[in-house]
Chain A
Amino acid sequence: MRPFVGILGLGAAVAILQGLLGTFVPQHYCPDFGLLLVVGLGLSWRGFASGLFLSAFLGFLTDFLSGSLLGQHGFLRMSVYLASRLGSRHLSLLGPLPLACFVAALTAANAAGMAVLTSTFTAGLPLDGTALTGIVPQMLLNALFAAPVAAVAERATLMLSDDENARRMLNLETRGRTA
């Protein structure tokens, strides 16, 4: 229960900080930390069901703080979680470069999904080529921040874990690094 609540808190903090960051950095030049956190969950979270629920919750939280439709980010975050989970099992995502490429592809797929959902459920202009020009810096930034955020997600999961062995492993790893 503790890791679940902890990640919920982390996700809420990330969503609020993302909104704050956008007031002084152009939005397309901010990494999508919410998406990266969900990717991190997909890679390191143990339980499938609880991870899926967390992803949906984090997505809905973003919807509340965004002009998007309620459920739009919820749906896409679940898709990102499923893709990350599948990716971690079937692809070799160890190391920053493979993970960066994977996240860049996920960012593009996420933008495409956003475009499809927006044009399906609203009467506004669909996200066309003009709007999607913002996708390139987003892909690059998300790729750049993928490894650190995934590491933070993994570490937070271990730190908050109810499993004493996992926490002990983290302590040993930290001591090894400082030594």
Chain B
Amino acid sequence: MPEFRSGLSQSLLLAALVAVAVLSMAVDGGRETGEGGEMSWFTGAILDVAAPVQKVLAMPVDFVRETFIDYVDLLMVREENSELRARVAALDEENLQLREALVASGRLQRIAEMRDAFEIPMLSSELVGVDASPWFRSALVDRGQVDGVRAGMPVISEQGLVGLVRATSTTAARTMLVVDRQSAIDGTVQRSRTRGLVRGRGTDQLEFEFVARGHDVEVGDLVMTSGLGGVYPKGLRMGEVVEILDPGSQLMQTALIEPAVDFGRLEQVFVMLRRGPTMELLYGAEDGDLAVAEAPDDPAS
């Protein structure tokens, strides 16, 4: 009888734990398309503990890595320097010509006004950890609600688009990287203006799905955000086309993109402290306004 009771209680515990796990998944899965973004206090507390611990533990490792990288960089710096000087000279020349052309057509002022209109406050932030599971691509950054960071804000680096803040705790934020399989961004080819969908593959590459055939997309083309999804601002660099897959008889053509951001060496990122209109609708406009209003004193730009 005691054995039967013990077996029964074990079965009940198993059933209860499985039910909790499945219910959690169902609720969390439903929240992907609904309201949310701010973590529960419990989840937030775990991230608030994990982020500083990871940051401290990463310091010695970063020091060794930085020293090694600095040494290797130094070895290559002379050659790179002469190449860059030549490139700067060429770009200076090109820049002068373009300025002349713009001034001549009277567009310079309009472009300057447009830039001001699109200027978004940015918050410098450090990446302190990546996803604890190899099957998802997210990163933990050391800025959270107290810094004005809210779910739905884009995250970039000097190289290009990094991802989107998905959830925040008081002092940390979880960012879904563009290479995550749940990431899908409306993109455009800079040269031909061909539009398509840039999706994460869960690997270190992105895929670009577009309808047009022919030479609209070529290897080496730069793919930027189009701004049409209402999530990311227009013109953020996503990557470069490295391969165009054979479409066969399919209407959709797919190209592989090497991300502009080297996620393996990513350390510093910038959170754009303003959400796109779609994210405002999804998470609520008041939160977004608050995020901008509460931006700290040291935004990066």
Contacts and interface: CB of A to CB of B under 8 A. Distances in A.
Nearest to A115: B135
Contacts of B135: 68, 111, 114, 118, 127, 131, 134
Interface in B130-156: 130-138, 140
Interface residues of B, number: 56
Q: Which of A22, A26, A70, A127 has the most CB of B within 10 A?
A: A70
A26 B23 CA distance: 32
B202 A130 contact: yes
Contact of B134 (A28, A60, A63, A69): A28
B102 interface: no
A67 B137 contact: yes
Contacts of A123: 32-33, 182
Interface size class of A (residues with CB under 8 A): 35 or more
A65 B22 contact: no
Given A67-B137, A68-B133, A71-B21, A124 B182 contact: yes
Interface stretch (B54-62, B85-93, B284-292): B54-62
A49 interface: yes
Contact of B136 (A32, A67, A133, A138): A67
B129 A62 contact: no
Nearest to A130: B201
Interface string A128-160: 001101100010000000000000000000000
A127 B129 contact: no
A161 interface: no
Contacts of A121: 25-26, 28-29
Q: Which of B22, B29, B199, B200 has the most CB of A within 10 A?
A: B29
Interface in A51-73: 52-53, 56, 59-73
B166 A67 contact: yes
Interface in B13-46: 13-14, 17-18, 20-29, 32-33, 43, 46
Contact of A22 (B17, B65, B130): B130
Contact of B50 (A26, A65, A130): A65
Nearest to B13: A49
Contacts of B28: 69-71, 121
A51 to B, nearest CB: 10
A124 B200 CA distance: 9
A66 B131 contact: yes
Contact of A53 (B13, B43, B61, B174): B13
A53 B9 CA distance: 13
Contacts of B54: 16, 19-20
Interface of A: 15-20, 22-24, 26-28, 30, 32, 34, 48-49, 52-53, 56, 59-75, 78, 82, 111, 114, 117-118, 121-127, 130-131, 133-134, 138
Q: A-B pairs with the 3 shortest C-beta distances?
A: A71-B24, A124-B182, A67-B138
Given A131-B181, A134-B203, 12 more contacts: A16-B57, A19-B129, A23-B127, A28-B134, A32-B133, A65-B132, A66-B133, A111-B135, A114-B133, A124-B184, A131-B201, A131-B202
Interface of B: 9-10, 13-14, 17-18, 20-29, 32-33, 43, 46-47, 50, 53-54, 57-58, 61, 65, 127-138, 140, 166, 174, 176, 180-184, 199-204, 264
12 contacts: A32-B133, A56-B20, A62-B132, A63-B24, A64-B46, A67-B166, A67-B180, A69-B28, A71-B21, A71-B22, A117-B25, A124-B180
